[in-house]
Amino acid sequence: MDLELLVAIFPQVLLDGLILGFMYALIALGYTMVYGVLEFINFAHSEIFVVGAFVGVEILLTFKALGWIDLVSPFLILLVVLLVGMLASGLLAVTVERIAYRPLRGAPRLIPLISAIGVSFFLQDAVRLVESIWRNAFNLVYPTMETLNLRFSLTETIDVSVKSLVVIVASLLMLWGLHALVNRTKIGKAIRAVAEDQATASLMGINVNRMISLTFLIGGAMGGAAGVLFGVQYSLINPYTGFIPGLKAFTAAVLGGIGNIPGAMLGGLVLGLLEAFAASYLSLLTGGAFGAEYKDIFAFSILILILIFRPKGLLGEVVRERA
């Protein structure tokens, strides 16, 4: 075992884990917000995330075809792409709720869950169909923007690329924005009221349906933003890309305490860090006996341990009170 190497790569692994963790956190918000309000797991959220990534790549490819990509500042382009991706994913989430979940609102809890799984499959193959007709492609690649690939050297072995910084800064801004929206505005108060008790909230003059749509809009937009950032960071996407990150983000939401917004952020970060450390260190620590392929087993074993001792998640589950 090479102690020097372990220490030398530590900051880099920490950084990789943080980036992945922020990505999970952004996706996890979509699961947790919907759960907080409706007590139901929106399994189609991983596809909402992928749609954001695809909208992003389509805009970037269009910009590239028009030759704008080298003319305009890449940060401006990224901002536009992020906003459009968020809008598309948010609207899609609202539409899905209107079509597939709202008619089932009074039904037993398993029914909308199955509807959500159905929507998830439908969206996966819809994206695949559209892309194969439109571009005759399965894998799509985010165009390279040179400025974003520049790297700062922190030390001799550790460096960080501009796009990684963008991911971290954008995630922090959005998480902060969401936190402020939910806790400090009237709209946020209304959402929290609906989460606590729909009937009473509606007696207080809150439009429950509108608040639920808004929840889906915000959760979907966060998912879409995560999709665009995922594409910018890792560059390759396909219609099934969302499945694994979606599953992990759902786990992150449970880990943090489902329904709990700061919990989802914390859960995402913990999971991202666990995964990065497992993938980088397992084979170094075990002399190659356990390699990076065991990262998920390792990460999830730790999650099980945490949940044994804190079954409601790190920060506790937030569920509406029953009358």
Residues binding other proteins (CB under 8 A): 5, 8-9, 12-13, 16-17, 19-20, 117, 121, 128, 138-139, 141, 144, 149, 151, 157, 159, 161, 230, 233-238, 240-241, 243, 275-280, 283-284, 288, 291-293, 295
Q: How far is the CB of 62 from other proteins (least distance, A)?
A: 18
- Buried b / exposed e across 226-251, counting CB within 10 Å, b at 16+? bbbbbbbbbeebbbebbeebbebbbb
Calpha distance 118→27 (Å, rounded):
19
The answer to whether residues 230 and 3 touch, using CB atoms and an 8 Å cutoff, is: no
Instruction: Give backbone dihedrals phi and psi of 241, rounded to 5 degrees, phi first.
Output: -55, -30
Say if strands 236-237 and 140-141 run parallel, antiparallel, or are unpaired: antiparallel
Q: How far is CA 237 from CA 50, 71, 139, 160, 184, in A?
A: 8, 25, 6, 22, 36
If the CB atoms of residues 62 and 200 are measured against other proteins, the closer one turns out to be 62
Total residue length of the chain: 323
Q: How far is the CB of 247 from other proteins (least distance, A)?
A: 9
Calpha distance 122→118 (Å, rounded):
6
Q: How far is the CB of 169 from other proteins (least distance, A)?
A: 18
Q: How far is the CB of 258 from other proteins (least distance, A)?
A: 21
If the CB atoms of residues 62 and 149 are measured against other proteins, the closer one turns out to be 149
If the CB atoms of residues 73 and 157 are measured against other proteins, the closer one turns out to be 157
Residue 71 neighbours by CB under 8 Å, 6+ apart: none
Q: How far is the CB of 151 from other proteins (least distance, A)?
A: 6
Calpha distance 163→228 (Å, rounded):
12
Q: How far is CA 297 from CA 18, 78, 278, 292, 307, in A?
A: 19, 35, 9, 10, 15
If the CB atoms of residues 8 and 104 are measured against other proteins, the closer one turns out to be 8
Q: How far is the CB of 44 from other proteins (least distance, A)?
A: 13
If the CB atoms of residues 195 and 279 are measured against other proteins, the closer one turns out to be 279
Q: How far is the CB of 2 from other proteins (least distance, A)?
A: 9
If the CB atoms of residues 7 and 203 are measured against other proteins, the closer one turns out to be 7
Query: How many Cβ atoms from other residues are within 10 Å of residue 187's Cβ?
Result: 14
If the CB atoms of residues 177 and 291 are measured against other proteins, the closer one turns out to be 291
Q: How far is CA 120 from CA 41, 199, 263, 266, in A?
A: 12, 30, 25, 26
If the CB atoms of residues 89 and 241 are measured against other proteins, the closer one turns out to be 241
Q: How far is the CB of 212 from other proteins (least distance, A)?
A: 26
Q: How far is the CB of 149 from other proteins (least distance, A)?
A: 6
The answer to whether residues 269 and 15 touch, using CB atoms and an 8 Å cutoff, is: no
If the CB atoms of residues 12 and 209 are measured against other proteins, the closer one turns out to be 12
Q: Is 114 left (phi over 0), alpha (psi -120 to 50) or beta?
A: alpha
